[in-house]
A and B are shown apart, each in its own frame.
Chain A
Amino acid sequence: MPMIRSTCVHIFLLATVCVYSAHAATAVKFKPQALTNQDSKNAPLKNPEGVACSATSVLVSDTGNGRLLRYNLVNDDLKEGTEIRLPQITYPLRIKFASKGEVLVLDGKSRKIVRVAANNTFVAFLEPQNVPAPATIVTRSLTVDSKGNIYLVDIQGDRLLILDPNGVFIRQITFPADFGYISDVAVDQRGTILILDSMKDSVYRALVNENNFTVMAKDLQNYLFFAVSIETDSQGRVYLVDQNDNGVILLGQDGSFLGRYLNFGWKQGQIYYPAQGCLAGNDIFVIADRDNSRIQLFKLQ
């Protein structure tokens, strides 16, 4: 009898640990880690709308000042903040690291994509080649996968364009039927493409080599107002930055809602019309805190 009881206790404990572990694998805490609101010369940021992350550095679109800033990620904090001012970039919005240490910057005024070298010089405009009609491309957002392939959200052609690192057309995927307004794209480590529909509060996905998008998560209006940025982590979880309701929404690999984080405000840890988020090394989530004119770092725990 005592043996049966102890076996039951062990099974109960094991089940508890399993449930807890499963929960721990999905739940996340956003701990305010650091913030920066100035460059290396102590000049203030103004309404930054873009951030790009790598393991060791963070590039910022300092939109209101018409420049880029390159920060080093040291001890989970941003250091330096070297100014990159180029005549080809007057109103930088979205920004992504590309291959060879380059950065791709979407300029809001010219609506062109600018290639910036690792040494902070202008390389060229990204000119997509061999793209099928329509000839005009209007890029709303972009991302780059681990192979350096470039993904452009083309709102003129209602499609996602996939280009090789040199800008040569590989393939395209048309937006799903009845889409509202596609505002951002992300690609996870397995090559799954995710697009964000800000108007329909939905996320669509296309698995590697799939030629159409299917719904991953829809009717998220109970959790968000108007998401504008999408990012994924190594576990395939999805982070949506909700610009109009000042928060970050976390979705599981299957599109299930896992949590909503952060709140509106001016103090550290609070955000005000965030524009873009990215994941840097060491589980740091970086947010372009636009209307607070600063960049905030959150440690994911």
Chain B
Amino acid sequence: MRVRSVTSLLVVIVLTVSGQCLAVGTDQQFNLKPGARGNLCLKCHDSFKEKMARKVIHTPLRKKECSGCHNPHTSSHGKMLASSTKMVCSLCHATMVSAKPRSVHKVVADGGCMKCHDPHSSDYKNSLVKEGKSLCFTCHKSLGEKIAKVKYKHAPVEKDCLSCHLVHSSDKGLSLLRSETNALCLGCHQSDKPLFMKKHMNYPVAKALCTGCHNPHGSDSPGLLHKNVHSPVAKRMCNQCHMEATSATPLKIKTEGIGLCRGCHNDMVNKTFDKNRLHWPLLSKKGCLACHNPHASEDKGLLREPMAQMCYKCHDDTMRRQQKNISKHEPVAEGRCGECHDPHSSNFLFLTKKDHKFELCLNCHDWGRHSSHPIGEKSVDPRNKNLTLGCVSCHRSHGTENKKMFFYKTTTEVCVQCHEKLAR
């Protein structure tokens, strides 16, 4: 009895140890002939001769330990990998992301190591698939195009993205920046230099956020200012909104909240507040600044981000639903929320520019006027006598999981909601 239990224990130990070996794939595991390791694989995988000739060869390949990453017999993963990409790489490269990062490269978090690295060999350092900026611009294509076109270029960007960014994760900065934004800028641009101070009207801007006005990737405006600059900033009239540069609190704004903006945008503010429904963030502590950057922005209307990104920050549910939709309303899919909605205020539900049931749709869809189906204020909805028939009686304005932005799967299902007698 005792012998049996000892034997069982030994079997468990052997299996455990062999299981661990499986991860790294040894000669013993596959019972290879002496000298067969790696060479055996390369007999069939002829193309590896070329890979082996490159400058940088991944250590397991150099040691001809193909089974370090691949299972030569069976696998549930692509390329006969012994495990998922993320797991395979982390067996040796476990510490690519620090314990408490402030930002992590998404591709790293997703385990897409091979998007940047060639797991076998490369002509570039760190076995990268491309060299320098060109690798980054494979994914960040639009940014690369912008940088190539801009009139005023930022020297470090011309050199390499890694001047400012880290590649895997950053402990100190957002967006993989090597440190806090300002600390990074001030590493080169000394804020106590007379020219620097003069350009910034003697305001202690080192305490502000440089990227609030400047685009570090380059710009068509002198001083690398963002594409759209708030008029007082462009005219260097900082004291229009801030206290004087010589005061004890030079960066403090003269009035809190919407009152400051009202000084110039009085008509717009009056029109906004004259409507029944206000966009609540406008009345929050941040006021206009909840959506707008008061200095400069790449986006029209000094929006902090492109409109869709801006709106979806709060209306995340709209984005989640949109992802499920098969039929998508074009302006929604393209992030043109302002096409139908007034982001400040409205007299209509959903802050639409006109009544969302019918009138709003006619802005683009002339067909609405020629519909043979009863529609409009005089046509009562048979399902609910308090409602009139409009486009949204059958279609959902943002889109649905069904064709033609219908609420229901088939046309028949849509029709029989009202025409019950026709239901089969």
- Chain A residues whose CB sits within 8 angstroms of the CB of B283 once the complex forms: 111, 138, 155-156
Q: Give Cα distance in the complex from A156 to B284, angstroms.
A: 5
Cβ-based interface call for B280 (8 A): yes
Q: Once the chains bind, are A266 and B314 in contact (CB under 8 Å)?
A: no
Q: A37-B384, A37-B385 are in contact. List 15 more A-B contacts (CB 8 A).
A: A44-B385, A44-B386, A46-B386, A47-B349, A134-B256, A156-B284, A158-B284, A181-B281, A225-B320, A245-B317, A266-B383, A266-B384, A267-B383, A293-B387, A294-B386
A111-B283, A136-B257, A138-B284 known; A45 and B386 CB under 8 Å? yes
Q: Can you list 21 A-B contacts with CB-CB less than 8 angstroms, sorted by A residue number?
A: A45-B386, A47-B349, A108-B277, A108-B278, A109-B275, A111-B278, A111-B283, A134-B256, A155-B283, A155-B284, A156-B283, A156-B285, A181-B280, A225-B317, A226-B315, A244-B321, A266-B384, A266-B387, A266-B417, A292-B387, A293-B384
Across chains A and B, the number of contacting residue pairs, with CB separation under 8 Å, is 71
Q: Is there an interface contact between A180 and B285, defined as CB atoms closer than 8 Å?
A: no
- Chain B 273-297 per-residue mask, 1 if CB under 8 angstroms from chain A, else 0: 0011110110111000000000000
Q: Smallest distance from the beta carbon of B221 to chain A beta carbons, Å?
A: 34
B339 within 8 A of A: no
CB distance from A201 to the nearest CB of B (A): 8
CB-CB under 8 A from B316, the residues of chain A are: 199, 221
**Docked complex Cα distance between A4 and B276 (Å):** 73
Mark interface residues in B298-339 (1 if CB within 8 Å of A CB, else 0).
000000000000000011111011000000000000000000
Q: Which residues of B contact A47 (CB under 8 A)?
A: 349
Task: List, in ascending order, chain A residues with CB within 8 A of B275's CB.
Answer: 109
Q: Which residue of A lies closest to B347 (CB)?
A: A91
Question: Which residues in B have their C-beta under 8 angstroms from that of A199?
Answer: 314, 316
Residues of B within 8 A of A111 (CB): 278, 283
Chain B residue numbers with a CB within 8 Å of A38 are 386
Q: How many angstroms from the CA of A199 to the CA of B316 in the assembled complex? A: 8
List CB contacts (< 8 Å) of B180-206 with chain A. Answer: none
Query: CB of B381 within 8 A of chain A?
Result: yes
Question: Complex: how many Å from CA A109 to CA B345?
Answer: 10
- The bracket for how many chain A residues form the interface is 35 or more
- Could you mark each residue 187-201 of chain A with 1 if its beta carbon is under 8 Å from any beta carbon of chain B, else 0? 000000000000100
A291 at the interface (CB under 8 A from B): yes
Cα A298 to Cα B244 with chains together (Å): 61
Q: Which residue of A lies closest to B321 (CB)?
A: A225
Residue of A nearest to B357 (CB): A291
The interface size bin for chain B is 20 to 34
What residues on A are CB-neighbors of B317 within 8 Å?
A: 221, 225-226, 244-245
Q: Chain A at the B interface: mostly helix, strand, loop or mixed? A: loop
> Which 4 A-B residue pairings sit nearest by Cβ, starting from the closest?
A225-B317, A293-B386, A266-B383, A138-B283
Q: How near does chain B come to A248, taking the closest CB pair, in angstroms?
A: 16
Query: Min CB distance, A267 to chain B, in Å?
Result: 6
Any chain B CB within 8 A of the CB of A157?
Answer: yes
Q: Is A90 an interface residue (CB 8 A)?
A: yes
- A112 → chain B, closest Cβ, in Å? 13
Q: Are A155 and B285 in contact (CB under 8 A)?
A: yes
Q: Which of B256, B314, B386 has the most CB of A within 10 A?
A: B386
0/1 interface trace, chain B 375-392, chain A, CB 8 Å (1 if under) = 000000101111100000
Q: Tell me, yes or no, whether A140 is within 8 Å of chain B by CB.
A: yes
B257, B284, B321, B383 interface centre (most CB from chain A within 10 Å): B284
User: Within 8 Å CB of A221, what residues of B?
Assistant: 316-317, 320
**Chain B nearest CB, measured from A71 CB (Å):** 16
Closest to B417 in A: A266
Q: With A221-B320, A244-B317 as given contacts, are A91 and B387 in contact (CB-CB < 8 Å)?
A: no
Given A225-B321, A244-B317, A245-B317, CB of A292 within 8 Å of CB of B280: no
Q: How far in angstroms is the closest Cβ of chain B from A69?
A: 13
Q: How far is the CA of A221 from the CA of B281 in the complex (A)?
A: 21
Q: Which residues of B contact A293 (CB under 8 A)?
A: 384, 386-387
From residue 112 to 161 of chain B, which have CB atoms closer than 8 A to chain A? none
The closest CB in chain A to the CB of B393 belongs to A266
Nearest A residue to B418 via CB reads: A266
Residues of B within 8 A of A44 (CB): 385-386
